[in-house]
Each structure stands twice: as C-alpha cells, then as structure tokens.
Amino acid sequence: MVTLAKEFNEQLVYERPESLADVHTHYCPGCTHGTAHRLVAEVLDELGIREDTILVASVGCSVFSYRYFEVDACEAAHGRAPAMATGVKRVHPDKIVFTYQGDGDLASIGAGEILHAATRGEKITAIFVNNAIYGMTGGQMAPTTLIGQKTNSSPFGRDVELAGYPMRMAELLAMLGGTVYSVRRSLHDARHILQAKKAIKIAFEAQMMGLGFSIVELLSSCPTNWRMTPQEAVNWVRDAMLPYYPLGDYKVAEALQTKSGRGRP
C-alpha cells in the first residue's frame, strides 16, 4: 500500500494513529468500537500524550482494548476500572489515566465505582460505549437496554415492571460535584463521529488541566447481537436510541466552556 502511494506520488492524508496498535481487532463487522478506538487514538496523538497515558481496560467487548492502544495498560475486574484508575492516578498524578468501558461494565456492575470516582472528582477520563446490550456474553439485557427491546435475557422485550428503566448515565454523572465534563455523543454517521472526537478531546484536555472527572458517552451499534446489518444497526442508533438518549452537553465546567463552544453537539 505504501509503495502504491510512492508510485502515484500521492499525498498521505490518512494513516493509523501512533496510539493505535497495528493489529487486527476482534470486533464484529459494523461494530462502532473500532471507530471509538480510532477517535481516542487520534486525540492522544494530537494532544501528544501517548507516552504519558495509562489505560485501564474493562470487562466486556472492550476487554482487549489494551491490545489495541499503544499505551501502558492494565485490565480491571468487571466494573472496577474507575477504582483501579483511581489507584493508578493517585500514584501518578502527572500521568493521563483513562478507562474504556461498556454499558454493562460502567452502568450495571460498576455503577458504584463510576459514581464515586466522579463524585470524588478523580482526574481521570471515562470513555463510555453504550450499545444498549451485553455484547461479549452474547446479547443479554443491559441497564441501558431500551424499553421493549428484545435481548437474549429479555426475550419478550424489556418490561419496566420486571426490569425497570434504561439508565441515562451522562445525565446522572453530570449531577455529581466532581464531574467537570459529561456529554453524550453518537457514532452513527460521519458528522456525529466528528462531533464525538471533539468531545473526547475536551474530556482529555479537562484531565490535562487537572479539573476533575470527565466522561464521554458514545451511542454505539452492535449489529451482531441486535441481529441487524451494519447499516440497519446505525439506523437503529439514530431512530431508536437517540430519542431516549438525547445527545448533549450535560455538564461543561466553566474552564472548558470556550473549548466546547456551544451547549449542544
């Protein structure tokens, strides 16, 4: 591929970020985890912080994220990434520490850890991938599964009498004192992907400025477990998820206002 560019004297306009390892991922075709990885890696490159960054990976489909990011990394127990990241950051206050978590990990088994990391104002960044389902275990109901959504453990559709309501984490975490940046973005089309990248950058900048806890919730697709084609899946993000999970800036600390530029994506 590189030789082609030389022969035709083409200019390189798109390459793998240094922060992203040159390996195949295990993600399914059409899954937006790959997109989220790429955005985070581009941001780490652009901010020049790759060599100072430590990733705390989680349990779920993103369990192998430590293989894909070219940064020092550890793998936390299910839901405990914010606690483990707290330990890392308190020892290395001068490093950039981020968690990469799915909705089962962050909103269900790790709800306590993320709430308290946020409320303490831990100077860490959480990249939160919400695809409304447990992917790694094969498509069970998550705390974010939509009302009526059929999964392998809600075969009749999520019933609020039985399983309650989907959790809106970006809104919830925005209410806590230690949170300086809490926003929701979506990865369902190019325009929204670019907006998501801007938010990820601000979240890391918030940490670099030592302001407090920052989180970006990313609405994502899971075509395999949703039993859809990749195109149907991103359409479902737009048509079914967006109405329940409105995109927006739920908290932007004053020091970040100029970076954010506006109060909505």
Partner 1 sequence: MARELLKGNVAFAEAAIRAGCEAYFGYPITPQTELLEHMSRRMIELDRVFLQAESELAAINMVYGAAVAGARAMTSSSSPGISLMQEGFSYIAASEVPAVIIDIMRGGPGLGNIQPSQGDYNQMTKSAGHGDFRPIVLAPATVQEAIDLTVLAFDLADKYRTLVFVIADGAIGQMMEPAELPPMRELTRERPSWALTGAKDREKNLISSLHLGAVELEALNIKLQEKLQHIERSNETRYDAQEVEDAELILVAFGTAARVAQTAVQRMRAEGLRVGLFRPITLWPYPRQALANLTAQAKGFLVVEMNAGQMLYDVREIVGAQIPVEFYGRMGGTIPMPDEVETAAREMLQKIASKTTAREGSNGHVS
Residue 148 in tokens: 């009526």
Beta strands in the chain (DSSP E): 53-57, 72-75, 96-102, 125-130, 179-186, 213-219, 248-252
Closest distance to partner 1 from the beta carbon of 113 (Å): 6
**Which residue ranges make up the site for partner 1 (CB under 8 A)?**
50-54, 56-57, 63, 66, 70-77, 80, 83-92, 95, 112-113, 115-116, 120
Asked whether 196 and 219 are in contact (CB, 8 A), the reply is no
Closest distance to partner 1 from the beta carbon of 233 (Å): 26
What is the longest distance spanned by two Cα atoms in the chain?
64
Nearer to partner 1 by Cβ, of 134 and 245: the residue is 134
Nearer to partner 1 by Cβ, of 34 and 87: the residue is 87
How far is it, in rounded angstroms, from Cα 32 to Cα 68? 14
Nearer to partner 1 by Cβ, of 124 and 183: the residue is 124
Nearer to partner 1 by Cβ, of 87 and 246: the residue is 87
Nearer to partner 1 by Cβ, of 115 and 240: the residue is 115
Closest distance to partner 1 from the beta carbon of 176 (Å): 12
Nearer to partner 1 by Cβ, of 136 and 209: the residue is 136
Closest distance to partner 1 from the beta carbon of 96 (Å): 8
Closest distance to partner 1 from the beta carbon of 23 (Å): 12
How far is it, in rounded angstroms, from Cα 145 to Cα 102? 12
Asked whether 2 and 41 are in contact (CB, 8 A), the reply is no
How far is it, in rounded angstroms, from Cα 182 to Cα 20? 25
Other C-beta atoms closer than 10 Å to the C-beta of 264 total 10
Residue 214 in tokens: 């920052």
How far is it, in rounded angstroms, from Cα 191 to Cα 265? 10
Closest distance to partner 1 from the beta carbon of 77 (Å): 5
DSSP per-residue string spanning 108-128: IITHHHHHHHHHHT-S-EEEE
Residue 178 in tokens: 């230690």
